């Protein structure tokens, strides 16, 4: 089964999310908003399909990465999240929560062996597959 198809986002904790967003916008040209930046691209195998990769800052006290105490989290785009979660459970991988489904896709959080939080995302099946701005 194909598992990870790409990186959906990079999320990290910082002392001043708004200030850091402004710094990245000013000095590196990232198109930031209150929710970071979205980078749009097209799938190599089917250029009619759009995708996004999200770059997003979070406050140091965010609970979103829990139970991981690490300052970052990577979101991986996947195919067939339900089947992948079943396989991960069979292999003893820590599943943090239940699969949540939204208009923009399905999500679940798991931990790697070193306690790093990983967000798995199966985008909805449409021409425009985008993750919500800050709706993570």
The encoded tokens of residue 106 equal 């399905």
The encoded tokens of residue 88 equal 């991960």
pLDDT at 49: 86
For the chain, domain boundaries: 4-41+49-123
* pLDDT beyond 60 at 131: no
- What CATH number does the domain located at 4-41+49-123 have? 3.10.180.10
DSSP label at 116? -
Mean pLDDT of 77-105: 95
The rounded distance, in Å, linking the Cα atoms of 69 and 72 is 9
* pLDDT beyond 70 at 126: no
pLDDT at 43: 86
pLDDT at 132: 45
DSSP 3-51: -EEEEEEEEEEES-HHHHHHHHHHHH----BTTBEEEEEE-SS-TTSEE
Residue 114, Cβ density class (10 Å: 0-12 exposed, 13-18 middle, ≥19 buried): exposed
pLDDT at 80: 93
pTM for this entry: 0.85
Give the pLDDT confidence of 6-44 residue by residue, as tens digits: 999 999 999 999 999 999 999 999 999 988 999 999 988
The rounded distance, in Å, linking the Cα atoms of 43 and 51 is 7
3-state secondary structure of 54: strand
Contact between residue 11 and residue 74 where contact means Cβ atoms under 8 Å apart: yes
């Amino acid at each position: 089964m194909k598992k990870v198809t790409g990186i959906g986002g990079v999320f990290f904790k910082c002392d001043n999310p708004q200030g850091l967003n402004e710094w990245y916008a000013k000095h590196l040209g990232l198109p930031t908003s209150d929710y970071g930046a979205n980078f749009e691209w097209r799938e190599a195998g089917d250029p009619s399909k759009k995708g996004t990769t999200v770059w997003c800052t979070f406050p140091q006290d965010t609970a979103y990465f829990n139970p991981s105490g690490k300052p970052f989290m990577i979101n991986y785009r996947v195919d067939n999240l339900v089947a992948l979660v079943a396989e991960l459970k069979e292999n003893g991988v820590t599943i943090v929560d239940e699969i949540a489904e939204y208009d923009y896709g399905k999500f679940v959080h798991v931990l790697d062996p070193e306690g790093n939080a990983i967000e798995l995302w199966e985008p909805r099946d449409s021409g425009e597959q985008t993750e919500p701005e800050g709706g993570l």
